[in-house]
Structure 1
Amino acid sequence: MSYDPVILNSDIYSYDYFQQDDVCRLCWSRNAYKNIIEISSDNDYKVMKTDVVEKIMECLDIDLSHHVHPNKACDECFNQINKFHYFKKFCQETDKKLREILNEKNKTVPRIEIIKHDDDEIKNNSIDDLFDDNHSYEQCENEIKSKTKIKRWKYKPKRTPTYCNMCKTDFENVDQFKSHNLQYHGIECDGSYKCFGCEKKFKNRKARFSHESHFCKGLKDGYKCSICNRYIPKRGMFEAHMRDHRENVPIQLPEELFKCQKCDKLFRTMENLKVHMESEHDVDKKIYVCESCGRVFNRKDYLNKHKLTHTGEKQHQCPHCWFRTGQRSSLTVHIRKHTGERPYRCSLCPQRCVSSSNLRAHQARHLGVKVHECPLCNKKFGYKVSLQEHMSTHAPAQTHACRHCGAGYAHSRGLRRHIAAKHAEKNKTDS
């Protein structure tokens, strides 16, 4: 058998394999017939000091006292042990004979050199000096340790700070590395992780993956490749797929990628997998019903937020004004009106919005979409608030009156416009 370390990782070597009687203790081959371990007569599984055991323990420094199996060796290993043991004894005899010859001729013993790593001068001490009567062995050892500087091994990273572990690519500078992370891995400059299906950001990769797998509506069908329009179920597969596109590697994706965890069937799309789960495995979705209005939700936290609309409870208050709301997301959008933050930008014009819903309504105006229709005159509007203002014209209620001239308006916005246009000087004087 060849002594190749690669064989140690083979799957055939298991506990049951070594319980067989013909397995070699040293090379693991299946042609061993000579015993190297003899059990004592008391059956207490103690290794007896035989000639072969002593050779193995002396030459190879292997402890044979722990395991009963395997307890045999093949002929090739026996021959190697005998050769190795003979060579060791021969070298010991030659060294002994050499020392005797040198001592007879009164040859000087070579000096031991103590090399210090702090670039001091090298001092030579003979064996007689080290073991002088005035110095004990412990004192000499302490002196050597104090004069010798231990050289410690330091880890040197092989990869540069601009190396991408996922794409196995090293970039020329930090700017290229950050641009690559943002475009292909969703890692922002501030270290946050952006979802591939929406605008949400997360502190770590694990939180983002959980959102993408269970909550993101934009990824309900999987990760879509913008080049071949295929949907891929897993994030790692998607990034590897996009990397192959960038490197122009021939890509062969199987037609069916979405796997059922219960019966291991494969499907082409996530929708087909969901139909299969509902029809074949009778998946019962948890539903949460509102006791007040009967509205159904698939998550309990959605139901709890909805219940606040019935109770009127508003536990979130703006730190800048009197505004209160029942949802934290509404408070976040409201605070942006104080800070001036508008993180959502239109791709068609310079307009920026405080929320994603406002951005969608704004972009609908570019397309000419008006979904809010007046039930009385069939006039359509792009914003819901515009429809509400229009409805007041059918049955105007002058609830907002000007304190300067008494003009009445249905909405506060109309009153502000009137004061700015007609009573700007008086307003400045009053203030």
Structure 2
Amino acid sequence: KKCGSSFHGMSELQEHRRAHLVENSYRCPICAKAFSRAANLRMHKLIHSSERPHKCPECDKGFIRTADVWRHLRNACPENPRSREEDFKPYACPTCGKGFDKPNLLSKHKVIHREDKPYKCQECGMAFVQLLRLKRHQQTHSGARPFYCQECGGTFTRLASLQRHHRIHTGEKPYSCNFCGHSFTESGTLRRHERTHKLDKL
């Protein structure tokens, strides 16, 4: 379509098309590497410059991408005593202090602190910031408890509730205190426990 050339086979045509793609791509003026999108070329050009727009909050080292900052914080930051820890969560919610290991998870969490609650229950008028939370709430009105415990016959509205309940039977305590090593079946119990250590330090 572009130049009118014709070919005997599909593989020859595809090879020729690739040549057109390279001709019309975004080319780095420094190393001549070609990119199909301008945004990719802009990101690539940072390699050749000293510009590192994304800074580590602990040691101020600069990086080209935010993903590189996150990787550095988790694995290599000399100023961060908790780097290399499995449960390290560098992104804290400014409203409640809850920590997250990725910035996108923090963004999702922040929704719960919104003032406006657009999802309203038609039964009781209760409002929610997320549609998923409204749907969970509506199960309390319908009485539906689709999740069943094989051990004791208990029923639950949510899979997460069944999984949490099941730890009673297995004795599993997956949440460990960073201060004393004590283990708990629920993350909320661990958070309350860890607050006692923080109060002791005051």
Smaller-chain TM-score bracket: 0.3 to 0.5
Give the TM-score normalised by structure 2.
0.44
Higher relative contact order (CA 8 A, sep 6+): 2
Greater C-alpha radius of gyration: 1
Give the TM-score normalised by structure 1.
0.23
